[in-house]
Each structure stands twice: as structure tokens, then as C-alpha cells.
Chains A and B, each alone.
Chain A
Amino acid sequence: MPIHDLGYREWHEQLASPWTRWVVIAKAGVGRAWQSSWLKRMMLFAWLPAIFFGAVFFLWEHSLTVKEMRGNLRFILPQEVSTLPGLTATLDIEDEAVARHSVWSWLLYLFLRYSQGGLMVLMVGIIAPPLISQDVRSRAFLLYFSRPLARWQYALGKLATVWFYLIMISAAPALVLYVLGVLLSPSANVVYDTWDLPLRIIAASAVLMVPTASLALCMSSMTQESRYAGFGWFAVWILGAFTYVMMTEIEMDLMNSASPAVLEKWSTVSLYHSLGQVQSWVFDISTFDQVKHAAAILATITVVSTVILFRRISAPLRA
């Protein structure tokens, strides 16, 4: 017999807004994902390229005052990057404002496409596979859907979990890079010259986040075993990139020349290259006509993945 027993107490306080339920799911997802030591290491590692690109920003701004340094800039970048035709032409632009905008666009594009794009594949491969598959396996969907929660709120909460980490490795470091560039610039006009770049960073990050998160969660929803979802996720990227490399090499060997049209054509088989193509359009490096097929591929993947995701979310409840 207890000495003191408060028993059951009723609850009649003010309820929170019904529109914030997805935030609850996202917060729980972010917290659970952060328990992975691999993710913590990867997050630290994901910010290291920003240090390198920060140094390049500094050297570029320094080269505006010390003209002879400009030619040396191409030696700092990896050879495959520094020999890209568009970048080479950009480094030779004389007008300071135009050159700054072009070089900054290129640097941010390279940062998001090469270093952060690769890290994105690894990071999403760690975070996304268990997000829904684990809920199905542990029957947690009953916990969610026996409450006043709509399917879209559940899906948005899960997507927001992936988006949060993708923002932390794409938009956040790129915006920090931009701010660093502004602070290091000796020019007073730097903000006026580059005001649109933060918006382009956000748009390029959205290009990275939206199709990848939809695809990853679609795969997670299709199985109870997160390892299968992870396997499917990495298979899509590795097979796509492998096919792209093989087909472009074969066709360019046959044509005996490197044609940008061949690269554009085969980029549609690789999700990684399609993302890069559309990001290059966001940074005004390519025209929309050059990337329209890649954009169509990404849009299709997003729509199909989202439709499958929504259907799969309600499947365990119908059983």
C-alpha cells in the first residue's frame, strides 16, 4: 500500500498547433540519426572541403589586387577541374565584377557538385534507409497513425529529417563560404556583385535535396530491412555513374573527340551527373536547353518516388 499515491490526473491544457506534427517527427528523426557515430564523423568530414574552398576564395580575392597571382590559381585546383573550358575562360575575364561573379559561381558549383555531392550519397545512405523501414519493422506506424496524423505529415517529417542533414552539408557550408568570401574581399562592391549567389546556393541545395530524399525514403518504405534499402540506394548511384563513364568513354573513343553533347546525353543515365547538370544551370554555367533532359529525369524521379512513398506509407495499415 503506497504511503502517498497521486493516482491519475486529468489534463486540460492548451494544445499545440496541429500543423507542427511533422516537426515532432523530424526532430525525433534528427535526434535518432545523430546517435550514429558514423554520422558525426561524416558531418565533421563534410566541412573539411569548405576549408579548402575558403582558401581558394581568399586567393582569388587576393589576386584581384596582385594581378600576377591570377594565372597561378588554376594550379591550386585539381587538374580535371582547372581544365574545364568554362572555368578556364572565367579565370581570364578582365572585368572585376563579372569575373568575381563567375569565379564565385564556379567555386560554389564545384563545392556543391564534387565534394558535397559525393558526401551526400554517403550521408543519405546512412540516414535514410532505416527511417521508414524501421518504423514498419517495429510496427511504430501504429504509434503514428492511431493518432491524428496525416500521411503527408508523416512523410514531410521523414523528408525533413533527411533535408536537415543535407542542408548541414550543402547549403550551410556553402553559405558560410559565401560569407567568408564577402569578409575576405577587399572590394566594397562585393555584395552588390554577388547578391544573387546565396539564392543560387539555396536553389542548388534544393536540387540536391528534393530528388535524393524522395528516392531514399521511397526505397526505405519498400522494405522492412534497412540494409536492403541502403543496398538499393548505393546501387542506383554506383551503377548510374559506372554506366555514364563507360558509355561516354566508348562513344568519345568512336568519335575520336570529347564532345560536351555526349556528356550531356549520357548524364541522364546517372543520377549523380544529372544533379550536377541541373546545378550548373542554377549557377548560370549551363543553359536550360543543355540540362533539360537531366531536369526532366530529376523531376520524374521525384514525382514517382513521392507517389510510391505515399502508397507505401499506408500499406501496413491496410494489412
Chain B
Amino acid sequence: MEGATSALRGSGARQALAELQKVTDAALAHLTLDDLLTELLHRIVEILHTDTAAFLLMDEEAGVVAARAAKGIEEEVEQGVRIPLGRGFAGRVAAERRPIVLPDVDHADVLNPILREKGICSLLGVPLLVEGRVLGVLHVGTLTPREFTTFDVDLLQLAADRAALAIDHARLYEEEREARVRAERSAEMLQSVQRVTDAALAYLSIDDLLDELLVRTRDILHADTAAILMLERDGRMLRARAAKGIEEEVEQGVRIPVGGGFAGRVAAERRPVVIADVDHSNVLNPILREKGIRSLLGVPLLVEGRVLGVLHVGSLTLRDFTPHDRDLLQLAGDRAALAIDHAEMYEQRRVAEALQRTLLPQEIVGIAGMEIAARYLPAAPATSLGGDWYDVFPLTGGCVGIAVGDVVGRGLPAAALMAQLRTALRAYAFDGHPPSEVVDRLNRILAYLSPATMTTATYMVLDPEREILHMVNAGHPPPVVISPDGDAYYLPTTGGVALGASRASRYHEEACPLPSGSTIVVYTDGVVEVGGESLDDGLERLRRIAARVRGGVEELCDTVIEEMVVDGRPSDDVAILAAYIAPLGERLLTRWPARAEALASIRHLLRRWLRHQGATDDEIYDVTVACQEACANAVEHAYAPGDEAFEVEAVRVDDGVEISVRDGGQWRRARGTHRGRGMPMMEALMDSVHVQHTAEGTVVVLRRTLGRERAA
């Protein structure tokens, strides 16, 4: 190219190029491809002083270059000359992608008879190249012999390059315009329908969504009214749900039987219905008549073959709804039906999830000496919510109620029933009923709340002090126990039937020893019924995980969710709860907030520790009361506002126990008429009571011998 550039610096060449450039720039703006090519040929013949010039454009599918425009040899185009690639003159230029000069044309070199008939003596051809693609060939010829110079070759190639760009643009532009014209009609229709679904995508509430859909549908079809009637739950009646231009339909709660009237026919026949001229016989709804609607078009709202309702538009003037109108409304109806279906599912799910979130314990209650973790994972979004639930709550005497259940059925009704059952169970448990009675009552109230529904459940009361579990099972998968030495096994359950199976069912309690250091795991079937796996395999997998995980209940729950739930989101709801009874050592050191609410927890933990030390019931009671007196003093007297905590330490000493209660405040003499019994009680109940006041606070040290009769 360097040679060409220097050659082109010659006189006249720059001007010649400038002329060419004008053509192609103008061409891009105005000319059709054929006019452009003709104009180019005209200029090229002038600049290069040749007798002929021709463009042959590539037809890649046919493997030829075809004459598209010619000057001096117009017959080429008229006769539709096509030259195979690689053959003849033009075919070689295209195939070899380089300029070819034929100073002396003879028959062997030229396939095209027209060139020979015209008596062309010399030929120069260059390829039309854009980004390495061959678009065709440009060639010039003379009727007298001519030696084409390097200058001529470079000039023609430059002209060809510019022409090629212009041709490429013009072609693209033409193709685009054709496609646009072709697509215009369908695009217009699609776009207008698409506008309907834009609304749905924005997660509007169902009412807002329907309003938006109607406004758009009415616009698209240039109708005066639009209305949506939804099928009622029993499938027999349609009820006006949203309307534009006939808002009275909704305000008056118009209901139309399926099969009757206009909308009723659309729903019953599940196909579009047109009424060109409304009269009394074919329209039931008085509002349509009163409004003066003359023509109606209605389509069913269908999702997977289910009729959700009817969408119709009306005109105040007589109108022949065309098949195009009908198709457009049906298209809008189909999209609307999907959007409504999704919105309904979304709304139901949102409410149900909110309900479930509210009702499942947000934070697991803290129970001293135990570690409890739980997880709830709702099913994948495609399916609606189930009624899985769990609950943990403290009961009197340091016992802990643990419940898990699975309401059969899905969606809002299942979630609502779950909530009712959970509340009922808590109420029965707080009323002091033993576990079997709690479940009996739950069975009876279920029959009242939702007669046809079954639900599985396990309810257990864990007594960490006596290291025993009282369990009632109602058709629920068995709990897993991880023993202190790490074995995992399923608790044998006598298998009471699911709640709701029979009003006459009586549930029985099973007592299972559960020593300190054990973990109990309850769960719902989503944990063990994993895609295609048999229940036995699922149970075994869960058992193995339970036996393997050593990192505590939080890690256990996480691992089960990770390993048992494929792909992060389960196909069924999953709930799991694990409770670990921490073993208490020879020395118990705990720290408590200085609030009266802590007293019960301290008491229950201390009772556990004392029983572990072999104390009798009476000894446990005495030591507990004495310790509580010291703790109550710490809570009540010892603190200035802002002080927060006190410490209880219990250690085994010689033949007894020593309890120390330390706080950071100053002991205050008891005031009031019936106060001050704490100190005498401590002294009466314990062998020794020492109170030490230091700058840091107060320490009360209580000692009591275990295992011998005390002097009265």
C-alpha cells in the first residue's frame, strides 16, 4: 500500500479520489444500491479512462459472482451473467482476492462471451473486500490494448474498497428495512400485548395488576370498556373483579352463572365469544345494557387448561370485532391469566411465608445447660408453602417442651392451621397437661378446626434434671438421638396414628432415658424424603450425618440441610430442630443477668447439678432455696441501676457442696415488714453461711453436707 500511496500523490490522482469519495458519501445517505453502483461505474470509467466497467456481486450460496451493474457492457446485467468462483476472469479475481491484469484478453482467460463479443482487449479486475469478506468484483476494460499501470491498479483497488464499504452498508440497510416492514405488523401486536405483562412483572398486588391489565387491554383494542370476572372457588359463578368504563360491575358485585349470559358462555365454552349487537337475550348483566354497550368480545382466562375467569371488552358503538381483535384479546387474556396465576400464587405464598415466619420461634429460647438450634427452609418457590412447624418452650420445673409437626396440604390454609395447632399445643402444655393429654386434646381440636385434615406431630417433654424424655408420637417420623459417646439411633415409637385420623384416637406417652451429653433431633419428612430416595435410605443418611457431625447443634442442623437438601431449595418444606443436653461437671460456674427472671433458670440448672452430685430430693430443695435467697438478694438489693450480672459457682467439697454467689454491688439491709427472711432461711437450710463484703462487691458462700441426716 505504501507504493500505492506514493503513486497516488501524482497530479490529478488526489482530485480523482476526491470525486470518488463524494459519490460514496452521498451514496450512504440517499441512493439505492443499484443507483449507487451505476454512479460509481460512471465515475470510475471517467477517472481511469476505460471503455467498460462492471460490478459483479458475490452469491455465496451459489458459489458465483453475478453481474449487478455495468457500463459499456450493459448486456452483462441484462443477461444475468454468472461466473463460478475460481474460473474465468472475474471468478479468479474473487477467488484469489487480488487484482488481476489481462493486457491481452484471449479466449482461454475469459469465460464471459459478452466480453469477447464486445471486443475487449485489456482487462483490470480487483476484489471488493470488507473486513476480509469478498463482496464481489469490480473490473474495467478497454477496447484497445492497454498496459494497466500500478497506479491504475491501486486507484481501482481504492475505488473498490470504498465501493465495497458503501455496498455493504447499503445491503445491510436494505435487509434491515425489509425485515422491519415484514415484522412491523406482528411486532406491533406483540408489543402491545407485552405491555400487559410489564405490569405483572412489577409484582403489583392482584388488584393493582388487574386494573393495569384492563387499562392496557382497553387501549390496545381501542375499546370503551374492559372487565375481568374471576371464577369463584366452587367453579359455578363468575364474579366481577375489576372493570374499566363499567366500574359499577365491581361495585355492585355482579355475579354471573357459568353457562349463562355472555361471560358465562365464554367460561363454559372456554373459547372467545363475539356479540356484534347486544340485546337482552344474550346478555344477563343489566349494567352492560344500561351502559349502552353495543358490541362485546370476550375470551377465557386459561392456565394449563383451568379457567380462571373471563376477560371482555365492549364498544359503545356497533363494532365488528375482527378475527385479529379476537386473537389479540386472547393473547392478552393468556398473558393476563398467567400473570394473575403467578400473582395469586405469589400473594398467597407471601402471606403464608409471613405467617410462618411470625409463628415459628424467631429465636430459640435460651435454656441454661442446653444448646438448641433449629432451621426452617421453605420449599422451592415453584411450589406453594407447606405447613411444617416446630416449637420449643420452657415448662415448669426446668422441663422443656419440644414439638414438631407437618400439616398435610399446602398454601395459606395449611400455614394457618399450623399456626392454630402450634398455639393450641402451647396452651395445653402451659395448662399443665401431661404430654399424652396435650396430644389427645390437639387431636380433638383439629377435628373441630379442620375436620378433613390430617397432620403428623411429635410432642415431647424433656426433663434435663431427671435425664428423661416423655414423648408422644402421632404418625411422625421418629426422632434421632445422638448418645454421649456419639452413636446415633432412632427412638422406637409405638406409632400413634396421625392427628385427624380418628377422633377416638388415644395417644400414649413413652419415656426414654436421655442422659446428659445426648442430643435429640426432630425434623419433618422433607429432611428424609429427598428426590427419589426411599424413606429408609433417607433415614439412614440422616442417622449417619447425626453420628458424624461433632461440632454442636448449629453445625448439625447446617450439615443436615446442606447434605439432605439437594440444590439448596427443597421440593418440600424442611424443618429440623436439635437439642443438646450439656453435661455438667464437678464445678458449675455460671453468670446471670441481675433480673428476677434468671432465678428459675439458675434453680433448674442447680437442681440438675445437685442431682448429678447424688443429692436427695430434700437436699436438692434445701440447697436450691438457700442459693435462691442469695441470688434474690443479689438481684434485689445489691445493685445500683446499670449493674448487670452476678455469678453462681457450685463445687463439690469433701462430703458436700459449696455454693458461692458473687455480685458487684453493696449488700443492703432488708427493709419492709415481711422482708429479711432470706438470711435466716439460708442459715436454717445450710450448714454454714458466710457473707463477705469487699470493695468489689459481696460474696455469699453456702455449705451443705450431703448424704446424712441433719440435726433438726
Do A and B truly interact?
A: no
Which residues of A pack against B, CB within 8 Å? none
Which residues of B pack against A, CB within 8 Å? none
